[in-house]
Copies of this chain bind each other. A is one copy, B any other.
Amino acid sequence: MQAPPAGGTKSVSRPDQLLFLTDEQLRQGIELMFFAYRDFTGDPDAVLAERGYGRAHHRAIHFIKRRPGITIAGLLDILQVTKQSLNRVMRQLTDDGLVLSAQGQIDRRQRLITLSPAGEALEAELSALQRDRVRRAFRAAGPDAVAGFRAVLEQMINEDGRDAVMSLVERDKP
């Protein structure tokens, strides 16, 4: 547990040592992920709790908004949970009238999921909270920092699914 000698955060950004990363620097990165993610999910969690929903509902709503007309299989692929687990969430959202499902045109077995107006409203409320936090962080840190944030998080994603994930994240239309 040796100290990175001088004060503050200076020890971490050393453009002169591209490959030398101390355990201490890495540990700081790990803890930052933990604390930042905890607060990152905090705002929506509070709104969701009022309605008896949780983070799982938020994730479903987010990606339905993102790709309207997505199938159940598509959601399962993105969320990486079991269909039983997703089904419980989807049933609640359907019963509550937040999501709609239409029969697929090409493959009539498929359900094409979309948000109802009520679902859109909740999604807007949730994403506004989360965007506000990210916007404040991005503004405070500055554009170069944002580019770095993006680069590191991208590299943090499992290599074997990275391209697929990044094309989902970056794609503007389904």
Contact = CB atoms under 8 A, between A and B. Distances in A.
Interface of A: 1-5, 8-9, 12-15, 17-19, 21, 23-40, 42, 59, 62, 66, 80, 127, 130-131, 133-158, 161, 163, 165-170, 172-173
A36 B156 contact: yes
A120 to B, nearest CB: 13
Secondary structure at the A interface, as helix, strand, loop or mixed, is helix
30 contacts: A3-B173, A4-B147, A9-B170, A12-B146, A12-B147, A13-B146, A15-B144, A21-B139, A24-B172, A26-B134, A27-B131, A28-B170, A29-B146, A30-B62, A30-B127, A32-B150, A33-B37, A33-B153, A35-B169, A36-B154, A38-B80, A39-B157, A39-B158, A134-B156, A138-B155, A140-B151, A141-B151, A146-B148, A146-B152, A147-B148
